[in-house]
Amino acid sequence: MKLITRDTDYALRALCFIAKEPKKMIAARKLFSELGIPYPFLRKIMQVLKHHGIVSSCKGQGGGFSLLVPTSRLYLKDIIRIFQGEFSLNECLFKKKICPGVSSCMLRRHILSWEKQLKENIESVSIESLLSETGGSFEEKKNN
Amino acid sequence: MKLITRDTDYALRALCFIAKEPKKMIAARKLFSELGIPYPFLRKIMQVLKHHGIVSSCKGQGGGFSLLVPTSRLYLKDIIRIFQGEFSLNECLFKKKICPGVSSCMLRRHILSWEKQLKENIESVSIESLLSETGGSFEEKKNN
DNA sequence: TTTTAATGATACCACATTTGTATCATTTGT
DNA sequence: ACAAATGATACAAATGTGGTATCATTAAAA
């Protein structure tokens, strides 16, 4: 069970990297070589972020991406929503048919409450808070 | 994002039904007609429960399944583990390569903590508690 | 003893989602 | 003109989920 899919994770890494070079344009090629994210996949992800107004872009030589939203107002939950849709623990179990079976009915109350708790947890995480926790260092790669 | 997959859900429904007829053998055919779970899929699910020692079975006419584990000691987390594997929010994001990227590293601590909380929640739910909450009624079908 | 109703074992399959790849057009700085 | 970047879009592989199909075996009942 995945809370965060690969595209969300890649997007977070890319955004963290870009966030540390404000006002500079960062090319996808640069993100690829620094972060090791598969290039075409990364391209697609950046375009999605662009369409959602998270980053701005510039074509042509010297072009790339830069943050549009300040890190303090860019939340994990936003990125999750963009790549994974509205956060929900009981997706398609209660969506179409409400209460298709007794165990669902019984569990529903529990699951909704757990979901609420998880949501509140996720709400508290911003890109800024992620960066400040690690001091913005990208040194972890050397540990492999 | 699904906390509970369909086979887990079906298994729970079947177990709740069986739990209410202790000492009787309940045939898969009966579960199918009462609960509307696709018959061959249900068969497969019951065999899995059998292999894990949750239910006993009897072949031949008049055969079927019955609970081996008392409802008070049969937990939701056990059924989830059987059908979905060990519960984990960050499956395959940190499994093979520990810390493949900085955002994962940063998020890891958070996710592990959320996972712990969710686990504790799930631990508290037994089949017995589910049954007692609804009074053991299966009447919800009439509401569709 | 034959029939019937049940499980045991196992292989297969359809579909959706995830995780990418490939291609070509367009833009922009040198 | 050329090189380096994004924009748009179609395609594809791998995996997971949800479900079928088939045949063998067992046991009760007729």
pLDDT score at B94: 45
Q: Which H or E element spans position A56?
A: strand A55-58
Q: What angle do CA A14, B94, A20 make, to 5 degrees?
A: 25
Interface of B with A in 32-71 (CB under 8 A): 35-37
Q: Is B107 within a domain?
A: no
Q: How many Å apart are B77 CA and C25 C1'? A: 53
Query: Which pLDDT belongs to residue B139?
Result: 39
> Tokens 């799930």 belong to which residue?
B122
Whether B73 is in a domain gets the answer yes
Domains contained in chain A, number: 1
pLDDT at B109: 82
> What pLDDT does B1 receive?
84
Dihedral (C-alpha) A70, A73, A75, A79: value to the nearest 10 degrees? -50
Q: Cα A91 to chain center, whole Å?
A: 19
Bridge partners of residue B75, in order along the sequence: B126
Q: What is the pLDDT of residues A48-87, one digit of tens each?
A: 999 999 999 999 999 999 999 999 999 999 999 999 998 8
> Rounded to whole angstroms, how far apart are CA atoms A75 and A80?
9
- pLDDT over threshold 70, residue A141: no
Please give the pLDDT value at position A31: 96
Q: Determine, yes or no, domain membership for B111.
A: no
**Amino acid A92 CA to nucleotide C14 C1' distance, rounded Å:** 19
Task: Give the model's confidence band at A121: pLDDT under 50 very low, under 70 low, under 90 confident, else very high.
Answer: very high
Higher pLDDT, B1 or A142: B1
**Which of the residue ranges A9-13, A64-68, A107-111, B70-74 would you say has the lowest mean pLDDT?**
A107-111
User: Is the residue at B23 inside a domain?
Assistant: yes
A135 CB within 8 Å of a chain B CB = no
Beta strand pairing call for A64-67 and B55-58: unpaired
Q: Tell me what pLDDT residue A134 has.
A: 61
d(CA B28, CA B124): 29
Strand-pairing partners, residue B48, are: none
- Which CATH number belongs to the domain containing residue B57 in this structure? 1.10.10.10
What residues does A143 pair with on adjacent strands?
none
Mean pLDDT of A100-127: 83
* Nearest-angstrom CA–CA distance, A94 and A105: 9
The answer to whether residue A144 sits within a structural domain is: no
Give the model's pLDDT for residue A74.
97
Q: What is the pLDDT of residues B36-47, one digit of tens each?
A: 999 999 999 999
In a domain, B119, yes or no: no
Of A7, A2, A82, A72, whose CA–CA distance to A37 is shortest? Answer: A7
Check residue B97 and give its pLDDT. 44
Is B59 part of a structural domain of the chain? yes
Show pLDDT as tens, one digit a residue, over chain B (144 residues). 889 999 999 999 999 999 999 989 999 999 999 999 999 999 999 999 999 999 999 999 999 999 999 999 999 999 999 999 988 887 644 443 444 444 556 777 888 899 999 999 999 999 999 888 764 444 343 333
pLDDT at A51: 98
The answer to the question of residue A124 being in a domain is yes
- Alpha-carbon distance values, B80 to A3, B56, B115 (Å): 16, 19, 14
Those residues with Cβ within 8 angstroms of residue A139's Cβ, 6 or more apart along the chain or in another chain: none
Residue nearest to nucleotide C20 (CA to C1'): A41
| D strand bases under 7 Å from protein CB | 3-10, 17-22, 25-29
Residue A108: pLDDT over 60: yes
Give the H/E segment covering residue A66.
strand A64-67
| Better-predicted residue by pLDDT, A101 or B35 | B35
Domain containing A96 equals 6-137
CA count, 13 A, side-chain hemisphere, A97: 11
Using CB atoms within 10 A of its CB, is residue A52 exposed (0-12), middle (13-18) or buried (19+)?
middle
